Amino acid sequence: MLIFLLSILCAYLIGSIPFGHIAGLCYGVDIRTKGSGNIGATNVYRVLGKKPGIIVFLLDAMKGIAAVRVVPQGVAFVLGGVEAVPPGVFVILACAVFVFLGHTFPVWLRFKGGKGVATGLGLAIGIAPFSALVALAVWIAVFAASRYVSLASIFAAVVLGAAAWFLDNSAEPRNYAPAVICALALFVIIKHKSNIKRLLSGTENRFSFSGKK
């Protein structure tokens, strides 16, 4: 139980590191008051430029990977040493949920965070790598065809949730990992509800590679 509690606490704290907001502060800008007001990599790219946007995306993705691949094992090692029992699947999946919650509801920013796309990709790579690769390929294809980041993210979330049941459903206990991934993918889609409205009304902004500095 102690390993479980410390693991999810560390996962949440890692997820709540607001790299987008920190990037803005490095440039003397409160990213929450610029562009879409989101602290995610897309808004950072548009407001601060290409390099900060890419860095924030990679760091947000690394939060997800670290939370499911490093945190549970690290906590178990600290508490039990080299003979510690490896963390079970429930601990790992709980860390996936809490790193996602940390990113979308960071305690440092009054629980107003990003939409979870990059961090969701990172945790998916950690617990469902094959599905994550398929979802990433779909994201690239939809984005290349439409230049809508939001549309690509929504399609990728749908595909990730569906693919997890077929490609990453072999670990015991079965079905828990795909169920968690589906729940998080659904949450990503819900976080894009304002984007969906703009897509339907034709007012959503297309992505431009000429990021403003």
Domain ranges for the chain, please list them.
Answer: 2-201
Look at residue 207 and give its three-state secondary structure.
Answer: coil
Distance between first and last Cα of the chain: 47
Helices (H), 49-148: 50-69, 71-80, 89-104, 117-127, 129-146
Angle between the 89-104 and 2-15 helix axes, to the nearest 10 degrees?
30
Helix axes 176-191, 117-127, angle to 10 degrees: 170
Question: Can you give the pLDDT at residue 170?
Answer: 59
Give the per-residue pLDDT at 76: 83
- Calpha distance 175→8 (Å, rounded): 21
pLDDT for the residue 213: 44
Task: Pick out the chain residues at pLDDT < 50.
Answer: 173, 213
> What per-residue confidence (pLDDT) applies to 116?
93
Q: What is the pLDDT of residue 158?
A: 96
Q: Quote the tokens at residue 76.
A: 């178990």
Does the pTM of the predicted model rise above 0.95? no
| pLDDT at residue 120 in the model | 95
